[in-house]
Amino acid sequence: MQQNSSKLIVVTAPSGAGKTTIVQHLLSVFEDLSFSVSATTRACRAHEKEGVDYYFLSPAEFRTRIAEGDFIEWEEVYADQFYGTLKSEVSRLQALGKHVIFDIDVRGATNIKQHYDDDCLVIFIKPPSFHELTTRLRNRQTESDASFAKRIARMRVEMTYENSFDRILVNDLLEVALQEGELMVEEFVGIKARAEEEE
């Protein structure tokens, strides 16, 4: 790693805008980046693994850790559904000499930026349109009607954060968005993306 101090890159967006896809791509092309695994109280989905996708905690465990000051940021998104970033997770990755990348919501991104200031770059992933965003989410077919309605209401609020962060990345054509994301990271951290292996 070229830098003495660890940098933080936060990728944030409304649900369905593609932030997870972009984060996974950045992790694949920057060997000095490591993913900050968030903690949550929501149920583990079939494809998810403890400590890889999330640290899954009960609401009681999460509240205890809030009281003990273990989080850099946390939020109760819905009743008893918490998300947060553990201080120990960021420290663990920094001790490995890694730059840390986050895939979190807009409020969490705001709090991490306030905490780390100039050592943190926040990239807001913007969908081509709100209609496209809702279509993507509906096509996932992971939500009940009630849950979908809650997400739509939340997405409307999240879209208002667009101009609150360091950079805006429009995810219309994915290949273009991935390349632009690479350039933003290269510019901020001072490391070059490795060439992807040809198939």
3-state secondary structure labels for all residues of the chain: CCCCCCCEEEEECCCCCCHHHHHHHHHHHCCCEEECCEEECCCCCCCCCECCCEEECCHHHHHHHHHCCCEEEEEEEECCEEEEEEHHHHHHHHHCCCEEEEEECHHHHHHHHHHHHHHEEEEEEECCCHHHHHHHHHHHCCCCHHHHHHHHHHHHHHHCCHHHCCEEEECCCHHHHHHHHHHHHHHHHCCCCCCCCCC
> If pLDDT is split at 50, 70 and 90, which confidence band does 34 have?
very high
pTM across the whole model: 0.86
Structural domains of the chain, with CATH = 8-189 (3.40.50.300)
Residues of the chain with pLDDT > 70, as a percent, come to 95
pLDDT at 198 over 70: no
Residue 2: predicted pLDDT: 38
pLDDT at 64 over 70: yes
- Tens digit of pLDDT for each residue in 105-163? 999 999 999 999 999 999 999 988 888 888 877 887 777 888 888 888 888 899 999 99
